[in-house]
Amino acid sequence: MAEEIKSVAEEIREEAGEAKLYSNFIQDFIDKDLEDNKYGGRVHTRFPPEPNGYLHIGHAKSICLNFGLAAQNRGLCNLRFDDTNPSKEDTEYVDSIQEDVRWLGFDWEDRMFYASDYFEKIYDFAVEFIKNGKAYVCDLTADQIREYRGTLTQPGKESPYRNRSVEENLDLFGRMRAGEFADGSRVLRAKIDMASPNLNMRDPVMYRILRAHHHRSGDKWCIYPMYDFAHPLSDYLENITHSICTLEFEAHRPLYNWFLETLELDNRPQQIEFARLNLNYTVMSKRKLLTLVKEGYVNGWNDPRMPTISGLRRRGYTPESIRDFCSRIGVAKVDSTVDIGLLEHCIREDLNKRATRVMAVLNPLKVVITNYPEGQVEEFDVENNPEDPQGGTRKVPFSRVVYIEQDDFMEEPPKKFFRLAPDREVRLKNAYIIKCENVVKNENGDIVELHCTYDPASKGGTAPDGRKIKGTLHWVSADHALDAEVRLYEQLFSVDDPDDESEGKTYKDYLNPNSLVKLTTCKVEPSLKTAASSSRFQFLRQGYFCMDSVDSSPENLVFNRIVALKDSWSKVAAKE
């Protein structure tokens, strides 16, 4: 019992042992800090999503890293909603983010926080900056602020409002909060250095005036702190030790430190940057994903073609396979693009171990076995999973009429075609050897059914005289088969890098018209009648499939193909 309810955190700790599971440069920082007793031996991370969209596979990397590093160092990891930007945030996202993090197997226990809960404290910190002469209210417009900032090669110009007195700044900032000024008319800025080579240090904005309804604080505030100001303070207020973020924040690190150092805070958290995950054939920007949803290019955030966690879940990915992927890609300091094939490899590896093998015919061709007694039904015991010694067996019915795959038959086969053809023999998996005697066509010349004979002495599929049968086909009994819809997927984009706009095109121009193909006349074996929603199978020779959690019902079975099988059946069959 205790075994089964072991949390992912415990698993990570156990596996980590001496050789840490996530051994990377961030763990090296942590090791050094533990050695120096920098935080009294504490390791405390956080995962800080902004609730302005659904989580994607890139976030999964950050989740595994933050929760994984905490777990393997016997530390803690918080979930924090970074909700300082009210106009784009929504409680729908807050709910989906919690569901996705939990589904991935991680637990923030009682440590779920919102940056908006700290608004009052962050305001007080801002007042302290003003009192220390380190912040001022500036009346320049946004355009002027940009203009005054200078460039990488030219120093900035000081704002004419930079030397306002502490009293005037306190008064104006209080009135900003009280709602006396129009949106955008004033900001609070840090007084740092307009000549700094780092543009982020040229008196960055700390607060702006914005009358927007916030999903939690409602209309209480009309000023909101900027991310760069709110983030280090939120980390500090949560006792975070290692604040892990993506590389684009590297140049913001001096500012992160400046806010905490200027306040002379103890136990200051430190920011460590890593390279974000990019996947080929995929867009990962939340803005672009939102557009795909809003403009109907996909059917919602959980469309099985989306790189979102909810999309991957619906497609049939397991949390184990995604965690495995995140640990295999590692953590680096240089941006790179990972091949989507690695993600597919991880789900194949996982499902190869645990998915029940079943037979499903996606494009059925009727086969009548003319010498098989009418009305007779035999049941064959079939192994559920040859990879799993405890997998057990199930009964699969066989009768006079079966379906095989249309492309397992060719009237005029090329040389290397070892499947069914006129006068040829093949094995029906686990059943009998059959021979094609006659091809029946309709008036258009289309093949409508095959007439075959079976060898009654070949029960189980072995030829009694030891004659060689090269082809083995999957099949379903026509009388017993269930109707099903099967959805086949390709990548959502047809080019390697859909973010590439160098040709004057955008990602929308690269949508793959074949990303979803619905096959509506499929026939699946009767054991699937009792399958649970979201359960996963290997359809022999066709790949791994998942019963759709949204559209499938006992009357209307719908399966998503998660991924095709890597090895072609011929190789698998050759080993039999």
Q: Give the residue numbers annotated as catalytic, written as ranges.
A: 50, 276, 286
Q: Which is nearer to ligand ATP, 50 or 383 (CB)?
A: 50
**Which candidate, 115, 87, 330, places its Cα nearest to that of 243?**
115
φ/ψ of 275, rounded to 5, equals -75, 135
E strand intervals along 297-392: 336-338, 356-358, 360-361, 364-369, 378-383
> Do β-strands 476-477 and 401-405 pair in parallel, antiparallel, or remain unpaired?
antiparallel
Q: How far is the CB of 85 from ligand ATP (least distance, A)?
A: 8
Residues within the interface to ligand ATP (CB under 6 A): 48-50, 52, 58-59, 61-62, 245-246, 276-277, 284-286
566 φ/ψ sector (left φ>0, alpha ψ -120 to 50, else beta): alpha
366 φ/ψ sector (left φ>0, alpha ψ -120 to 50, else beta): beta
Cβ–Cβ < 8 Å for 433, 422: no
Q: Which is nearer to ligand ATP, 57 or 434 (CB)?
A: 57
Name the DSSP letter for residue 260.
H
Q: Which run of H or of E encompasses 207?
A: strand 205-209
Q: How far is the CB of 212 from ligand ATP (least distance, A)?
A: 16
Cβ–Cβ < 8 Å for 209, 182: yes
Cβ–Cβ < 8 Å for 137, 188: yes
Q: Which is nearer to ligand ATP, 65 or 201 (CB)?
A: 65
Q: How far is the CB of 286 from ligand ATP (least distance, A)?
A: 4
Q: Which is nearer to ligand ATP, 263 or 284 (CB)?
A: 284
Q: How far is the CB of 29 from ligand ATP (least distance, A)?
A: 16
Q: Which run of H or of E encompasses 332?
A: none
Q: For residue 303, what are its two tokens?
A: 């469309």
Q: How far is the CB of 79 from ligand ATP (least distance, A)?
A: 11
d(CA 229, CA 205): 8
Name the DSSP letter for residue 247.
G
Q: Which is nearer to ligand ATP, 58 or 75 (CB)?
A: 58
Q: How far is the CB of 224 from ligand ATP (least distance, A)?
A: 16
What three-state secondary structure class fits 31?
helix
What three-state secondary structure class fits 299?
coil
Q: Which run of H or of E encompasses 37?
A: none
d(CA 134, CA 130): 6
Q: Which is nearer to ligand ATP, 50 or 117 (CB)?
A: 50
Q: How far is the CB of 52 from ligand ATP (least distance, A)?
A: 6
Q: How far is the CB of 325 from ligand ATP (least distance, A)?
A: 12
**Across the chain, which distance is largest between two alpha carbons, in Å?**
103
Q: Which is nearer to ligand ATP, 277 or 484 (CB)?
A: 277
Q: How far is the CB of 46 from ligand ATP (least distance, A)?
A: 9
Q: Which is nearer to ligand ATP, 336 or 521 (CB)?
A: 336
What three-state secondary structure class fits 570?
helix
Nearest residue to the partner ligand ATP, using Cβ = 58
N-term to C-term CA, the chain: 38
Query: How far is the CA of 356 from the CAs of 34, 199, 390, 543, in angstroms?
Result: 46, 57, 11, 12
Beta-ladder partners of 136: 189
Q: Which is nearer to ligand ATP, 97 or 528 (CB)?
A: 97
Query: How far is the CA of 70 from the CAs of 64, 66, 282, 330, in angstroms?
Result: 10, 6, 29, 16
d(CA 367, CA 289): 46
